[in-house]
Chain A
Amino acid sequence: MTGAIQTEALTKRFGRLNALDGLDLCVPQGAVHALVGPNGAGKTTLIKILMNIFRASSGRASVLGFDSTKISGKAFASIGYVSENQQLPGWMLVGTFLSYLRPFYPTWDTQLETKLIRQFDLPLDRKLKHLSRGMRMKVALASSLAFRPRLVVLDEPFSGLDPMVRDELGKALVERSTDSTIFLSSHDLAEVEGFATHVAFLDSGRLRLSEEMPSLSARFREVELTFAAPVASPSNLPATWLHLSASDSVIRFVDSAFNQETTPAEVARRFGPVRNATFAPMTLRAIFLAIAKSSRSSS
């Protein structure tokens, strides 16, 4: 099945800097796909290429089956795009802005619009330039959801917003995820963990991983082994065991390919009898810290 978004060897260079480096990504239809990574990882660059705001240096990208370099005009009738630094027409009232956009979209749902206005508590009679940043984001999101787009692309939608607004935006996205594919970038891992079905990790322009959230959560474990006597740090460990450290009689590492049956057996095979072994599930944040540290130490 063709993904809502697909990239092949996508590369973007700004002078000597490789902002994106041979990116292969597939965002399945119907997914809530979070693109995470540190600042400067290339998330915004990727989204701007997908939205045909930037042109890729090489490689290809398709969005809803369109070549991303051809996306313009009518194609945006199926795509809702919201960015943290998008410039809205400040002179317009919120109500005027929504009314102005309405005729552009054949699928505009006025009932949904009304619902979003209520849900976000939008002040229709205030000018956009007089709104707070969070409120402007809510207006942008409402105007990008009200036409029931097939794809919603959000670039750092939660950045700099207070927790209440984040919660409201998150809820709205979850509600919309039933009939839209949602692709959002964020460096706030805790925020996306709650509702993302898929996650991709971008670091220094490279895709470190992209997979479904349950699978990701299932295969990462923080392992702590306690021995009866002090142990030395062993060598020739599996590549999937990351950041192994030994301290006195305790060994800790992150297993990036945890299996409930094979991992304890492998531990026993390599270390012998263990007085106590814990295999703790990890937060998304902990997983990505482990991956980021691992990729930096290997590079």
Chain B
Amino acid sequence: MSNTDIQPILQVEHLKKYFHTPHGILHAVDDVSFSLNKGETLGVVGESGCGKSTLGRTILRLHEPTEGKVFFEGQEVTSLDKRRMKALRKDMQIIFQDPFASLNPRMTVSETIAESLLIQKIFTRKQSDQLRKRVAELMEYVGLSTKLVNSYPHELDGGRRQRIGIARVLALDPKFIVCDEPVSALDVSIQAQILNLMQDLQDELGLTYLFITHDLSVVKHLSNDIIVMYLGQMVEKSSSSILFEHPTHPYTQALLSAIPVPDPEYEVQRVPLKGELTSPLDPALGCRFAKRCPYVRAACLVDDIPLKEIAPGHYVACTLV
């Protein structure tokens, strides 16, 4: 990964996404800010329902943000009109979690990959030869045999389907990709193949990733920086190595200690967590993790806890630090 060009490609400022539900306002993403440098990977971790997918989608304006701004290469994404936004989508893409649900079952592999090229008018239908050539190129690039051009998704296994998802994103030559749990549905041996592919692509094309996952070992393997989310809020942010060596927020500590380590000699020192994730519907003031936190005290419940920089680049939202 190149560190020569350290101008942020993406800046997110006080991003909020609330959903109005019959039971109240759901704070899916609540005041998240960060910036991401070109060619780097930012990991976003948290449990189901913490708002990590909503964050990824709101950045791409697949959800309209409730408040806050997103800048991509200095340009404010959140205020663009439809036409400009569509043009920008070439640069900002997403790989979805479920390779079974995110592909159209009635389109062949080549149609799926060609579709994005046609929509963005990189090729027109008349240029079928060039289009075919480009699709074949892309398939080869992501390790799909060109024999499969006319196959349908149901004929393929999860790993190959995810490769289609990657190929159709790469077709547009994007700069920034939101990867929303791209390997969660895959078996470990296939998962490793896809992770290696994504790393190679990043190195070759200088891609920037926002890597959303619940799997901490995957995130550690790939990311430069990591954000830990809990009920819509960022509770800790730091470089990957610092986070794993000095997890500071009690939630991060609990999350790290809960991962089953594939080594029988590893001593488990678990930070016990009471209860389960509560819902982010009309959250009360104060720390949202307080109910499950083993160190909770009165000060935690008074007011929202701001992020505090405890070391250069290491931010934690906790009254104990």
Task: Answer whether A and B are interacting partners.
Answer: no
Q: Which residues of B are interface residues toward A (Cβ below 8 A)?
A: none
